[in-house]
Amino acid sequence: QVQLVESGGGLVQAGGSLRLSCAASGRTFNSYAMNWFRQAPGKEREFVAQSDWRGATDYAASVKGRFTISRGNAKNTVTLQMNSLKPEDTAVYYCAASVRFATTAYGMDYWGKGTLVTVSS
């Protein structure tokens, strides 16, 4: 079982950077693929980035080249470095874990409660 807690959200100007962190607890943390999703008001929750159990990464086309997901297993953390932020990146960002490969919200096994990121124009 994995428990996830996000942090690092806040207000940033367009073009700026922000780093989100997800603290994970659980005996089998290294066995899970770690993911970031986001949900803007009135929109569906969407996939943002994934780091699988081997370290391979995947990104949504809208963030590729701007966002970087990384894992620090020794500290049981996963981070999302967000650069060149745009107003359309504004959303609640969620950390999620999946036992098997999945890039949809339906495929996630564990969720954090989210952290709000607001990008001003």
pLDDT tens per residue, range 19-37: 999 998 876 666 788 999 9
Confidence of residue 75 (pLDDT cuts 50, 70, 90): low
∠60-64-69 over CA atoms, to 5°?
Answer: 85
Q: Is the pLDDT of residue 79 over 70?
A: yes
Q: What values do phi and psi take at 30, rounded to 5?
A: -70, -15
* 103-113 per-position pLDDT tens digit: 899 999 999 99
* DSSP-derived pairing of the beta strands 18-25 and 33-39: unpaired
Mean pLDDT of 93-98: 95
- Taking alpha carbons only, the member of 15, 29, 19 closest to residue 80 is 19
95-111 burial by CB neighbour count: b if 16+ within 10 A, else e? bbbbeeebbebeebebb
